[in-house]
Amino acid sequence: MDDKEKIDDINKLIDSELINFTRELDNVKSLSELESIKTKYTGKKSFLTVTLRNIGSLPGQLRPIIGNKSNAARKKIEADILKKEQILKGVEYEKKLREENIDLSLPGRGIKAGKKNIISSVIEEIEEIFIGMGFEIAEGPEVETDYYNFEALNTPADHPARSLHDTFFVSDRVLLRTHTSPVQIRYMEKNKPPIFIIVPGKVYRRDYDVTHTPMFTQIEGLVVDKGINFGNLKWTIETFAYEIFGKKRKVRFRPHYFPFTEPSAEVDVSCNICGGKGCRSCSGSGWLEILGAGMVDPNLYKFVGYDPEEVSGFAFGMGIERICMLKYGIDDLRLFFENDLRFIDQF
Ligand code: PHE
């Protein structure tokens, strides 16, 4: 092979290397593909690098010719790769921009405002009614002693009425109050008649089904003054019942028993579903029970140092969840405690 043939030979190889490179470069779609092409055509083992490295073994007069040709090819390849790299970077940047794009015109999800639980609203409504009659609001502890919850309410340890209260005990003499009545004693201990109070609060009993929850809400009422009689009790309760349920409802008193009142009564309102004829809601009786009441048993006054010859009074207690159910026709007690806005929003 003479020099001319040798040069032609290598030139052909360089040209076909360039053709291959250009074809492959055209197909490159990502920076990582570009990287492997770069290695293939400009890396240590690439044809051009090897040619340039071995140029010393060529006859002296061929070296500049082959060297120039190889260097020019290599420069072109590097320049093309750089150009492609800039194009790809631009494309990938735009793709990234598109993917991370936030549509500011999309409406937000919206945060619903909370609302007062229906129990709280009804407590406030009842408070308003009694405040209008001159009552004040008092409160007492939910963790109570046996003394206030039972003993001082005329319910000693062996009293049969105790078994009616499924009590949560904290310890031997400490419990979760089963009703708001202990506040009667606490208030009378610290205050002298005339007393006109109502006492809203949570109470606890070991009971759980559709009509009972272990925690529920009561409002207690207590009136003690000179010359208070059953007529005053009746007027107060009737006035309250008409205010909360409306004038169309009838109210009746039924004899009952509580250890701390004598005489005692349970109070019913006529059923709003059947209008008093009798239906499933009122178990066919036409009446729905709303509260317990009675004249304060004079025995209680001994515990608080009042003179039963001087003063008399009445007390009543009602379950708020029950009042809500009757007022709004709600049939599942558990709805009150779930705080589901779809339920609460209706009131
Ligand atoms: N404490 C009684 C109860 O929980 C209700 C009541 C209160 C009855 C006051 C009479 C007087 O059942």
For residues 305-311, average pLDDT: 96
| Beta strands 136-137 and 215-225, pairing class | unpaired
Total of domains in the chain? 2
The pLDDT value recorded for residue 335 is 85
Ligand 1 atom nearest residue 318's Cα: 5
For residues 1-29, average pLDDT: 89
In a domain, 158, yes or no: yes
In a domain, 63, yes or no: yes
In a domain, 110, yes or no: no
Residues 63 and 32 in one domain: yes
pTM (2 d.p.): 0.69
Q: Are 122 and 327 in contact (CB under 8 A)?
A: yes
Residues 42 and 133 in one domain: no
Residues 147 and 272 in one domain: yes
Task: Mark out the alpha helices in the chain (DSSP H runs).
Answer: 3-27, 31-42, 47-53, 63-99, 118-132, 146-149, 182-190, 230-245, 298-304, 320-328, 335-338, 341-344
Residues 155 and 30 in one domain: no
Token duo for residue 257: 């028993």
Residues 94 and 197 in one domain: no
Token duo for residue 46: 């690439």
Full domain range(s) for residue 305: 118-344
Identify the domain boundary among 100, 127, 152: 100
Q: Is the pLDDT of residue 279 over 90?
A: no
Mean per-residue pLDDT over the chain, rounded: 91
Q: Are 214 and 205 in contact (CB under 8 A)?
A: yes
Residues 301 and 194 in one domain: yes
Portion of the chain with pLDDT greater than 90, in percent: 62
Residues 201 and 158 in one domain: yes
Ligand 1 atom nearest residue 314's Cα: 11
Query: Of 181, 187, 323, which is best to mutate to test ligand 1, by the most ligand atoms within 8 angstroms of its C-beta?
Result: 181
At 3, is the pLDDT very low, low, confident or very high (cuts 50, 70, 90)? confident
Residues 86 and 218 in one domain: no
Residues 49 and 193 in one domain: no
Token duo for residue 117: 């639980």
Residues 197 and 332 in one domain: yes
Residues 41 and 183 in one domain: no
The pLDDT value recorded for residue 163 is 75
Q: Is the pLDDT of residue 164 over 70?
A: no
Between these two residues, 161 and 100, which has the higher pLDDT value?
100
Residues 271 and 213 in one domain: yes
Residue 263 Cα to ligand 1 middle (Å): 13
